Amino acid sequence: MIDLARVQKELVECSKDAEGSGIKVSPKNDNLVLLIGTIPGPVGTPYEGGIFQIDITLPDGYPFEPPKMQFKTKVWHPNISSQSGAICLDILKDQWSPALTLKTALLSVQALLSAPQPDDPQDAVVAQQYLKDYQTFVNTARYWTESFAKASSRGIEDKVQKLVEMGFPEARVRSILEAVGGDENMALERLL
Amino acid sequence: MALRVIAISAVSTVLSFVGLQFCTDLSLDKLTSDGLIGWNLIHLDNASQDIELPLGLYTTIGLLVNCMINVFILLNLCLKAVFFTELYASETRKLVERFINYVIYKGMFLPLIVPPTIYQAGLWSTWLTVLCSLKMFQALARDRLERLNASPSATPWTYLRVYSALLFVFMVDVLWIRFCLTIYQAHGSSMYLLLFFEPFSICFETLQAILVHGFQLLDIWLHHSACNSSDFRTPKLLDMLTAGSLLELKGILIRNLGFLLDMATFFMALGHYLYIWRLHGMAFHLIDALLFLNIRALLSAIINRIKGFIRLRIALGTLHAALPDATTEELRAYDDECAICREPMAKAKRLNCNHLFHLACLRSWLDQGLAEMYTCPTCRKPLFAGVPGNETNSDAGTISSDEQLARQISAGLDRPNSARHTMPTGFYPNQTLNTPEGVPWRGAGLDSGWLHSWPNQGVDGAGPSTAIRTVGLGRVQMMMRHLASVGETYAQTTLEDTAWNLWPINPSQASASGSTIPPPGGRLPERTGSLHLRTASQSSNDNVANILAMAETVREVLPHIPDDMIFQDLQRTNSVTVTVNNLLQM
C-alpha cells in the first residue's frame, strides 16, 4: 500500500522549491497515484528552453518500489523512447532506494537530458545517430524541442491568456491547466 | 439525483401510510355497519364477519409491511445523503456486488433451519435486512475513507463526517445485539443463538475500521494544525519526539489490536456457518456443499492471517535483535526524519554507516529485495558486510552472526515461495462427501491440505474486478507488503471480499457475469484520448522521418552545405528536388 503521507510531504517539498529548480509535481485528477511532473530542459543542451511533461504512476509498493515515469512530451534522446516516452534510467529500475524522492528522480531525469548514455540506449535509432552523426542529432533534438516542448509551453501561455480574458483568476487558471495536462476544454470545465 | 430519489421514496412512504390509514378506517366502518345490521339477522351476519375478518387482516398486514419497508428505504437514503452526499459510479457498482453476495451467502442457508411460519419468516427477514444495511454502510464508509486518504484535497471535516458513519454503524450494531438478546431471552430456544454471530462479526470489523481510520483522522488533523501554526526551533525537537512516539504507538496498536479484531471477526463469521451446520446436520445436498465451501474459505483466510502475523513478528524480532538501537543522544544529534517514511523518529535502528531508520521501514525495505544485496537506503553501503580479516575474534563472531542473520532472513523470505509451490491443486468433491459426520473440527483437520489449494482455485475462477486482479499478483509478496504498511489489517478484509466474489454458483455464470460487467465510466474517454495521441504521434513521427530521409538525400548531392540550412529549406519545400535547386542557386 502506498505511503500516502510521504507522498503528500513530497508534493509540499516540490512546490516549495518549484521557482528555483523549475521542477514541479502535481496530482492528475484528485488522487495521489497518478501525477504529472514538469522539468525544464537543461541549459547548454539542445533541450534548453523546453518544458517537458512526465507521467508518473506510483506503484502499490512505493516508496519501496520505484515510481513509473514516462515522457509525455516527445523528446529526441538516446535513452528515452521517441515512440512511447519510456525512460532508461537505473534508479528508476534496480538502483532505486526508498531514500530517493520524486524530486530527486526528476532531477536525475533532467541530468540524463544533459548527459546521454548511447551505450545503453532506449531508442536505437537515436543512439546510432548520436554516435555516427552528432551534429544531426543535435539539430534533430533541438528541432523536436522547438516543435513539441516549446510549442507546448507557448500553447499553455496562450491558453492561460485566453482563460484569464474570460475573467478567471490567473493563479487558478495556471494550476488547473497544469493539473489537466494542458487540455483547455477540460480546464474550462473545471473552472466553471 | 439523490434528492430526487429521496423525494420519490418520501412520496411512496406517504402514499403507503395513507393507504394503511384508509384501509384501517374502512375495516372499522364495515365492522360498525355489520354490527348494526346484526341486530336484525344474527346468524347471517356472524357468517359474513367470519369470512371478511381474515381477508381484512391480511390486507392490513400487507399494507403495514409495505409502509415499514418504505420507511426503512427512506431512512437508508437519508442516512446515505447525510454521510456520503453522492456516491461515485465505482462505489455504487461495488455496493451492488457486495449486496448481492451478502444476501445470497447469508440468506441462502436460513431456510435450512427456520420453521416455515409467518412470524419466523418476518423475524429472520428483518434480521437479515438490518444486518445487510449495516454491512453496506460500513463497507461504503471504509471505501470512502480510503479514497479521502488518497486525495490531496481532503479536509478534516470531510473525513470526520464519513468517519461518523462508522461510529453510527457501531452504535446501531450494539443496539441490535441487545435487541437480539431480548428475543433470545424471550424464546429460549437454541436456534435463536444464531442471531448473535453475524452482529458480533460486524461489530468487530467496524471496531477495526474505527481504530485504523481514527489514527488517519488524527494524522490529518495534526497535519492541518501544523500547516496553520508557525514553526519554532526548540519546540520542534519535542514535537518530533512526541510525534515519533505517537507513530510507534500507532504502529503497535494497528498491528496487534488490528490482528485481534480481525481474528474475532473471522471466528464470529465462522461460528455463524458452523452453528447452521450443527442445527441442520450433515445431509449431502448441494446446499451443504456450498455451506462447506464457505466454511473452508473462512478457515483458509484465518490460517493465512495467523501465518502472516507470525511471520511479521518473527521478522521484526530478528531485525530488532540484529541491529543496535539508536540512543537519545544519537537521535538528537541526527536531528532528522526517517529517510524512508519522512516521519519523526522516537526510536530508530542504527546501521553500520550510522544512518538511522524506523525498524518497520527498514524491514519493509529489506523485504523488498530489489537488489541482490541488502544495502543502506541512503548511501547504498552493504548491510551485514564482512569486515577485513585483520580483526579480533569478537569481530569474527560478529561477522558470522551477521552472515547467519542474512541467511536467516533470506531463508525466511524464501520459505513462503517454496510452501506455495508445494500447495496441492484441484478440489475433490468426493472426499468432501466422505467427510465424517458430526465432528466438524476433525473434518477441518482432515481437510487442511485442501485449505492450501483454495488460493490457486480462486485464481482460476478470477473475474475482472480489481480485488481479484490483486490476487493474481504474487500473493505472498503482496501479503508481506500489506502487513508492513499502516493499513496492513485491511489486506485481510480485501481478501475476504475477494473470497466472496470468488464464490460463483457455477463457472459459466462467473464468466457470463464477467462479460456483462460494464467498463468503468472513466475508461472510455481515456481510451479515446490515448488513441488520438497515438494517431497524432504516428503522423508527426512519419513527417520527421520523411524530413530525415530527404535531408540524407540532399546531403549526398551537396555534401558541403550545412545541415541546418538543409533542414530549414526542407521544412519549407518538403521536396528534395526543389531544395537542391534552391541551394544551388544560393
Q: pLDDT tens for residues B456-468?
A: 333 222 223 233 3
Q: Residues A159, A75: one domain?
A: no
Q: Residues A166, A100: one domain?
A: no
pLDDT in tens, B50-91: 555 666 777 788 888 888 888 998 999 888 888 888 888 888
> What is the distance between the alpha carbons of residues B453 and B447, in angstroms, rounded to a whole number?
10
Taking residues B548-568, report their average pLDDT.
78
Residue of A nearest to B564 (CA): A139
Q: Residues A46, A135: one domain?
A: yes
pLDDT at position B137:
94
Question: Binning pLDDT at 50, 70 and 90, where does residue A192 land?
Answer: confident
Top pLDDT among B372 and A123 is at A123
- CA-angle at B373, arms to B367 and B374, nearest 5°: 50
Q: Residues A121, A183: one domain?
A: no
> What is the distance between the alpha carbons of residues A113 and A110, in angstroms, rounded to a whole number?
5
Grid cell digits, residue B562: 550545412
Give the range among B197-206, B350-359, B505-514 with minimum mean pLDDT.
Answer: B505-514
Sign of CA dihedral A33, A38, A41, A42: negative
**Per-chain mean pLDDT for chain B:** 70
pLDDT at position A81:
92
pLDDT in tens, B260-298: 999 999 999 999 999 998 888 877 788 888 888 999 999
Cis peptide before A63 (omega within 30 of 0): yes
CATH number for the domain harbouring residue A19 = 3.10.110.10
Sign of CA dihedral B446, B452, B456, B459: positive
Question: Binning pLDDT at 50, 70 and 90, where does residue B343 land?
Answer: confident
3-state secondary structure (DSSP) of residue A39:
strand
Give the range among B241-250, B256-265, B355-364 with minimum mean pLDDT.
Answer: B241-250
Q: How many CB atoms lie within 10 A of CB B547?
A: 17
Q: Residues A157, A140: one domain?
A: no
The pLDDT of residue B474 is above 60: no
Q: Residues A11, A80: one domain?
A: yes
CATH number for the domain harbouring residue A176 = 1.10.8
Q: Residues A69, A89: one domain?
A: yes
pLDDT at position A175:
83
The pLDDT of residue A180 is above 90: no
Q: Residues A64, A109: one domain?
A: yes
Question: Binning pLDDT at 50, 70 and 90, where does residue B574 land?
Answer: confident
Q: Residues A161, A92: one domain?
A: no
CA distance A84 to chain B (A): 9
Query: Does A181 contact chain B (CB < 8 Å)?
Result: no
Taking residues A9-34, report their average pLDDT.
86
The pLDDT of residue A36 is above 70: yes
> What is the distance between the alpha carbons of residues B500 and B466, in angstroms, rounded to a whole number?
14
Helix axes B393-421, B475-484, angle to 10 degrees: 130
CA distances to A2, A83, A98 from A57, rounded to whole Å, are 11, 19, 16
3-state secondary structure (DSSP) of residue A96:
coil
Q: Residues A74, A112: one domain?
A: yes
Provide the residue ranges of all domains of chain B, joining segments of one domain with +.
1-34+54-86, 88-228+239-299, 544-585
β-strand partners of B349:
B325, B357
Residue percentage of chain B with pLDDT more than 70: 64
State yes or no: is A14 an active-site residue.
no
Taking residues B427-455, report their average pLDDT.
32
Q: Which of A2, A88, A186, A191 is catalytic?
A: A88
Q: Residues A48, A134: one domain?
A: yes
Query: Does A31 contact chain B (CB < 8 Å)?
Result: yes
Give chain A positions within 8 Å (CB) of B474.
none
* Number of domains comprising chain A: 2
> What is the distance between the alpha carbons of residues A128 and B37, in angstroms, rounded to a whole number?
110
Are B490 and B212 in contact by the 8 Å Cβ rule? The answer is yes
Domain hosting A123: range is: 4-149
Among the partner-chain residues A64, A74, A83, the one whose CB lies closest to the CB of B365 is A64
Taking residues B347-376, report their average pLDDT.
82
Are B7 and B85 in contact by the 8 Å Cβ rule? The answer is no
CB spacing of A99 vs B378 below 8 angstroms: yes
Which superfamily does B544-585 belong to? Ubiquitin-associated (UBA) domain (1.10.8.10)
Query: Does A11 contact chain B (CB < 8 Å)?
Result: yes
Query: Does A1 contact chain B (CB < 8 Å)?
Result: yes
- A-B interface: how many C-beta pairs under 8 angstroms? 85
Question: Number of C-alpha atoms within 13 angstroms, CB side, residue B360?
Answer: 26
Chain B residues interacting with chain A (CB cutoff of 8 angstroms)? 147, 149-153, 219, 223, 339-343, 361, 364-365, 367-368, 370-371, 375, 377-378, 380, 481-482, 485-488, 490, 537, 540-541, 544, 548, 551, 563-564, 567
Q: Residues A25, A37: one domain?
A: yes
- Which A residues 73-112 touch B at CB under 8 Å? 74, 82-83, 94-99
